[in-house]
Amino acid sequence: MAIEYLKKADRQPTSGEADTRRIVGEMLDNIRAGGEKRVRRYAADFDKWEGDILVERAAIQAAADKVPARLKQDIDFAYRRVRDFAERQRESVSEFEVELSPGLFAGQRLIPVKTAGCYVPGGRYAHVASAIMSIATAKVAGVDNIVACSVPSDENGGIHPGILYTMDLCGADHILNLGGVQGIAAMAYGLFTGHPADILVGPGNRFVAEAKRMLFGQVGIDLFAGPTEILVIADAEADPRIVASDLVGQAEHGPDSPAWLVCLDRRLAEDVMALLPGLIDKLPETQRNAAAAAWRDYGEVVLCDSREEAVEVSDRYAPEHLEVQAGDRDWWLRQLANYGSLFLGEETTVAFGDKCSGTNHILPTKGAGRYTGGLSVHKFIKTVTYQRMSREANREVAQVTARISRLEGMEAHARTGDDRLAKYFPGEDFDTAAA
């Protein structure tokens, strides 16, 4: 039994975090003090945008007119699948009330947040699918007010037409021509809309992710996110060309996107490693440079003697995206525990989930898959409890509460039970002393 690294990453996803924190912290402080004026200044400095921040209906219609009919059909295809999956998620939880003991009723309510801020990346790539993942899911959850933002450009006259069309299709109530930290801060503080976000969601670069992290507590966030990740588990029967293609497919996101391969067969691992450089070289320049750096600095190949070892390695990485290209898929489904989203078999791939197959692509990174899943309707819904009880139920509950409170040294707590017993059962003696 052995775990062998055929390729080890030179860098880790946490590299450069200190500088990112400093830059984002300064920007948030400036925006907090300077408000909308400071946001406009950052928009001009970073995105060269000096136009309207709040997108008007006429601009949305103009963008829709620029989107080809075929693309609209594709966007609708993706939208309907993501929406339908989210609706099934919503149906999987329910409100209830139960009588825990005679006269004591406890219940659960599901209350959507009032305002959600949805960030949609739009810099290097036009992330149409990200608009669907966040906005459509919030709408299904029942959020009253959805504010969305994305990077504007003079070339597009604002937000990319495809993104803007999709934001409107999915139900955004307010759309901001803002990207980066300034977009996150504007949604958090309610700038330009008067609706401060209760929760911020959506993927972004390291500065966007850090802004969300720093604002957490003042607002909710979907998850702590970093550069996108992929881990592929493959056995001897896997197709090395498909495995290599999938690794490159995620590495093109950026130069700090980890791509990990966990193999049960040495020859397959070597074949995949041999194929990767050629696949990267065939990409357009921007994607080629990103993928080459990502594979060079963050790529890893791990050889395992057994599938149990492969599970151990994968669960330790807790990857954002986990593909299994190995036999006995049900076994892997039962055994694997830590991941954002799981793709079983070569017939499916991360890109399908990223774009249109139905599951959400806003997922945990940097090991957060150990304790949380990705974005779902549940992130937009507060699960709150309530209780009510009869006076007769106080006979038991008040005594137990008083005794436990006195054991803990909390006399005022105990007396809230004593006072009810005295009111509801005058003249009766109760044992409420600590044991």
Active site residues: 320-321
CA atoms within 13 A on the CB side of 5: 8
User: Which residues are 389's β-sheet partners?
Assistant: 104
Main-chain dihedrals φ then ψ at residue 95, nearest 5 degrees:
-80, 150
Q: How far apart are CA 174 and CA 195, in angstroms?
A: 9
CA angle 206, 122, 197 (to 5 degrees): 70
Element (H, E) at 220: strand 220-221
Instruction: Give the distance from CA 338 to its chain's centroid.
Output: 15
- E strand or H helix at 272, and its extent? helix 266-281
List, edge to edge, every strand of the sheet that includes 341-344. Answer: 3-7, 300-304, 259-263, 230-234, 321-325, 341-344
Q: Are residues 294 and 226 in contact, defined by beta-carbon separation less than 8 angstroms?
A: no
Rounded distance between C-alpha atoms, residue 203 and residue 122, angstroms: 10
C-alpha 81/C-alpha 89 separation (Å) is 12
Exposure letters 162-192 (e unless 16+ CB within 10 A, then b): bbbbbbbbbbbbbbbbbbbbbbbbbbbbebb
Instruction: State the number of CA atoms in the 13 A half-sphere of 385 facing the CB.
Output: 4
